[in-house]
Amino acid sequence: MDTKNEVVFEQVIERGCGIDVHKKVLVATIKGSGIKEETRSFDSFTSSIELMRDWLLENKITHIAMESTGVYWKPVFNVLEEYFEIILVNARHIKNVPGHKTDKKDSRWISKLLISGLLKGSFIPPRPIRELRDLTRYRRKIVGQIASEKNRIHKILEDANIKLSSVVSNMSGATSSKIIEQMIAGEEDIEKLIAYHHSKMQASKDDLREALKGFLTDHHRFLLRMVRISIQSKESLIGQLEKEIDQHLERNKLKASVELLQSIPGVGKDGATEIIAEIGNDMSQFPNEQHLASWAGMCPGNNESAGKKKSGRITHGNNYLKVVLVQCGWAATRTKGTYLRSKYDSLAGRRGKKRALIAVGHKILIATYFILKNQMAYKELGNEFLENKKKDKQILHHLRRLRELGIEVGEVA
């Protein structure tokens, strides 16, 4: 960094350290009152991080700032969190000064911003929440892999000219599963296969018979067998994960919070667990519900220049939480007589289904904030709440218009 053009900031933190984190190398710069600015490089091994910790303690460093680089910040955080106040910073929020970029200059710039109080730390939940987050995210990943494997079954059957997906509503249903099992076992008699047809199926036996006519070879059967084994192993993994998640909730006294969130329409046990895993159960981390919504990326962004409002799309945020909230929002739209359902219906026609789902997810997140903060169950407003609100607005609007026209009217109770 060119010292001639160096920006001078007011010092807020007495002694701090900026760390530029990489996979193999950590570059740390200490700066502050009573110490000489110094930059050192360390390996990313635990023993080397401990050496860096001792060096920082010797220099009486109190605050550390580092970028949230992939997963490489976690080993550093695990070693240092007991000894220092650590600010984890989004890399997009640290804009380096123009010039030649090096790791040493990056660490110096981070330390300068730190002691000047210009860095905003990311939300880092306590260890029990981080561990729960690992479990729920891994479970979601496995669920996605099972969905991919089920799609692969569909592709294999299509390759064999078997149109089972055209006559059944669910390829994972009981009827489809039994037919596929018999195919894998080598059954080629279509009449025996259509014996699994039942009266609740929309397709007739003749349609099912036509759909099962194809060219299923030993190669197809082998692939189907492998996919089935893969699905079974992944379902076993999910069972073990769910057992560990339940035990983790019990050990860390999070079960009550999960049960409270299930009082929200559309939020089931898995959804409530994933929400807790992403935001924790301590709402003091967020100044208010708007900050939580902004952090999650579930509220419109402000982009205005020269008096013109530009894109109002939702902001960057926690993508895992967004997915869960949208899924819960979709489930809430399937409930009857609820405020969330009426909110979706009122917005979907004017703003579109996608925006309406985001709005419902936002409502669920706001409700989550107050439920966890006050430790109270969700209070259902009912589907008439919005209608009454619209009615009151319309009455006030017409009363105001009548007064503007010079017609005196009494107040409406």
Which pLDDT tens digits describe the chain residue by residue (413 residues)? 444 455 556 678 889 999 999 999 999 999 998 999 999 999 999 999 999 999 999 999 999 999 887 889 999 999 999 999 999 987 777 765 555 567 788 888 888 888 888 887 788 899 999 999 999 999 999 999 999 999 999 999 999 999 988 888 888 888 888 999 999 998 888 888 888 888 788 888 888 888 899 899 999 999 999 999 999 999 999 999 999 999 999 999 999 999 999 999 999 999 999 999 999 999 998 999 999 998 898 887 544 444 455 545 666 788 999 999 999 999 999 999 899 999 999 899 888 999 999 999 999 999 999 999 999 999 998 877 777 777 777 888 888 888 888 887 765 54
Amino acid at 286: F
DSSP letter at 314 equals B
Structure tokens, 20 = 């530029």
Letter string b/e over residues 53-71, b meaning 16 or more CB atoms within 10 A of that residue's CB: bebbeebebebbbbbbbee
CB atoms within 10 A of CB 114: 26
Task: Output the six-digit token pair for 87.
Answer: 């600010």
Q: What integer pLDDT is reported at residue 305 of this predicted model?
A: 45
* Contact by Cβ (8 Å): 103, 124: no
Where would I find the beta strands (DSSP E) of 44-132?
Answer: 63-67, 85-89
Termini Cα distance of the chain: 69
pLDDT score of 204: 87
| Residue 350 confidence (pLDDT) | 87
Taking the C-alpha atoms of residue 265 and residue 179, their distance in angstroms, rounded to an integer, is 36
DSSP state letter for 305: E
Instruction: Compute the half-sphere exposure of residue 100: CA atoms within 13 Å on the CB side of its CA.
Output: 5
pTM: 0.81
**Identity of the residue numbered 247:** Q
Q: Give the separation between CA 191 and CA 181, rounded to whole angstroms.
A: 15
Helix (H, G, I), strand (E, B) or coil at 12: coil
Tokens of 372: 């966890």
In whole angstroms, give the CA distance from residue 151 to residue 147: 6
Pairing type for strands 15-21 and 25-32 reads antiparallel
